[in-house]
Chain A
Amino acid sequence: MTTISTPSSPSQSIASSRWISRTIIYGLLVIFAILYLMPLFVMLVTSFKTMDEIQNGNMLTLPQSPTIDPWFKAWGEACVGLTCTGIKGYFWNSIKMVVPAVAISTIMGALNGYILTKWRFPGHTLIFGLMLFACFIPFQSVLLPMATILGNLGRFGATLRNEIGMSLGFGNSTVNLVIVHVIYGLGFTTLFFRNYYEAFPNELVRAAQVDGASFFQIFRRIMLPNSLPIIVVTVIYQFTNIWNDFLFASAYAGSGDSMPMTVALNNVVNTSTGVVEYNVNMAAAMIAAMPTLIVYIVAGRYFVRGLMAGAVKG
């Protein structure tokens, strides 16, 4: 007996210490997950409660008589400032701004990355360094210069309207926001694509050259089809950033019909007339967050893979 029990006792203590460390790790993970998910939970349950229940009940209890009226109200009737037509119009405003801004900045970033790795020219590292610099410029520092530029574009648009009858988009707030987000996003998208293409085999480009493909044919037929992971990363990153942006949106489209979702949500919540309808506010916030959530759920598994692909060579 003794000869058997002696060797088994250290292995038992190893097993129990492993069990303790596992418990601590999972315990911590569960605590942080709860902390992180708590606001979402509160928002979600509140958005399905009636006002009575909110005023008389506990924040954390599940809705006793669930209702989806707050969601319809937020979408179609909530007041943004003085107009009470819900947030649906602003939701489409955001879509109209985000889709072109993400598409343009991603394609330009891919093109930049392609040139900076496969068509190197003297001074390419300097150019890349300067573009990287764009990632570190605080948003606030470009607010005023950008406002001046957008103001000039607006005057140019007004002149065009007088001369040829249309502004060609100059001075339109949505177009302005697209321009701002494309410029601001270029640093990041270029960084993503350059690092990805750095590890992309040069021989493929050379083979395509020998095969007679032109600069853009190589880009379209060889580079882009083999860049899915990094395209997904860039699109998620850009979509989330641009959709969630409040500073540029409130500065350059803070009022009027082309106001994006984030600004409209702020105005819904800040509308001071009558009772504060927490359930409607929460539903509106959920609707505002929905597109980024969907993008993550649909493309999320490529996200981590793409982030790794750029980092590790081969």
Chain B
Amino acid sequence: MAFLNISGLRKRYGALEILKGIDLELEKGGFLVLVGPSGCGKSTLLNTIAGLETITEGDIRVEDRSIADLHPSKRDIAMVFQSYALYPNMTVSGNIAFGMEMRRVPAEERKQAIDKVAKVLQIGHLLDRKPSQLSGGQRQRVAMGRALVRDPKLFLFDEPLSNLDAKLRVDMRTEIKRLHQTTGKTIVYVTHDQIEAMTLATKIAVMKEGIVQQFGTPAEIYNNPANMFVADFMGSPAMNLLSGKILKGSNGLAVSLERAAGEAMKLPIAAGMASLAAYADRDIIFGIRPEALTDPEGADRNARSVAENDCLIEVVEPAGSDTFAVTKLGGKEVVARLRADARIKAGETARLAFNLDKAVFFDPQTQIRIA
């Protein structure tokens, strides 16, 4: 039995259904990230776990005990809010101690717990300040301190980094990851940032319109997206999703992609993708991540199936560590990720290597993965 178990969870406001049957489970010490665009129901799902929203159907169990009908304070959870939600009238130590005070923990014990947490988060010098005297990053730490000090079974984070500037966000992300590794706590974390999801999670649930689109490890989500939404949402720059056609030739299957000029590009399909045979002569969506489309020297040497083709480069975007090149295939812009020092010029033709091991195929109607 998993540590956290959510089964058949539904949430309705009148006729409007926000969560449409959520099934998730998380092992003890796991880090579950709920990710999706705004309005997908991820924050509502977190609030139902916290008990701040009631559920219409289904169950939430922690260690095989249902918590669905318990008051938030009885669920043994701690939550970090997007706005930090620090009590403005109390000092930092008052904020951290408030939960213990409500639980009638003796003052001496409270003080020890505050000191311990302050040490972990390096906020010892801030304990007597009011939240209004703190910077964004310091408030974030205090908010985490308030959660940590309770030592609960389950931590809930509601987009905790979205109010920080870019650099601080990366620092705090690392800090949260380190905190998770050192304390071994079970965490459920909501974000709309797919990079946060990839870096922090042991399990990711990609959500859209109240439905879990895919639930799996970061690697599974990234390499084997279940549908076009997941493929497009996870990864930056996003996966190239191109209209193509499956052709059946004498030496196996191939995918053909229209080009702006000249005849269509034909790429051989690896033998393992036999399920594509049923789609012969039909339109499909061909998906390839930018890093699987690169200059021949930078291509993965271990890949079994690499096809090289000449492409007309329209735009070159050097990003320091990599160079991104934009070309056009199947009527859409395609981003390729090249080595930083790749010799490439806009308006010229360049040879690009397609790593077809990493290619994925979707049904254009259902948007579901074929192979």
A-side residues, CB < 8 A to B, are 201, 203-204, 206-214, 217, 221-222, 225-226
Contacts and interface: CB of A to CB of B under 8 A. Distances in A.
B50 interface: yes
B85 A206 contact: yes
A225 B79 contact: no
Interface of B: 50-52, 71-73, 77-79, 81-83, 85, 87-89, 98-99, 102-103, 146
Contacts of A204: 85, 87
A208 B79 contact: no
A244 to B, nearest CB: 33
A167 B82 CA distance: 55
Contacts of B88: 226
Nearest to B80: A207
B89 A201 contact: no
> Chain A interface mostly helix, strand, loop or mixed?
helix
Nearest to A228: B89
29 contacts: A201-B83, A203-B81, A203-B83, A203-B85, A204-B85, A204-B87, A206-B85, A207-B79, A207-B85, A207-B87, A207-B146, A208-B87, A209-B52, A209-B71, A210-B78, A210-B99, A211-B98, A211-B102, A212-B73, A212-B99, A212-B102, A212-B103, A213-B73, A214-B102, A221-B87, A222-B87, A222-B89, A225-B89, A226-B89
Contact of B81 (A207, A213, A221, A226): A207
A204 B71 CA distance: 17
B82 to A, nearest CB: 7
A210 B80 CA distance: 10
A243 to B, nearest CB: 30
Nearest to B103: A212
A212 B102 CA distance: 6
Given A206-B52, A217-B102, A211 B73 contact: yes
Contacts of B83: 201, 203
Contact of B99 (A211, A225, A226): A211
Contacts of A209: 52, 71-73
A208 B52 CA distance: 11
Contacts of A217: 102
A186 B162 CA distance: 41
